[in-house]
Amino acid sequence: MKKHYDFSKGKKGIFFIKDKRDIHLPIYLDEDIEEYFSKIASSKGKDINSIINKVLKKELELQKELSI
């Protein structure tokens, strides 16, 4: 490490995210799962994100029903 770093031209807070809801985490699917849902998405003319989100929302609904 250097003994001194020049931060005189640095900008404070440029990487600060005000609203944590704006953070989108990457989710990595197993190859076979991604291939399966990609085929469904392309056959329906949709992107894989919307298909996976629908599946996960249905799973949440099912979990809520089972916990009652």
State how far the Cα of 44 lies from the Cα of 25, in Å rounded to an integer.
25
pTM above 0.75, yes or no: no
Q: CA-CA distance, 61 to 37, in Å (whole number)?
A: 20
pLDDT at 28: 95
How far apart CA 34 and CA 28 sit, in angstroms, is: 9
Question: Hey, what are 48's tokens?
Answer: 């894989």
pLDDT tens-digit series, residues 2-18: 899 998 998 888 887 77
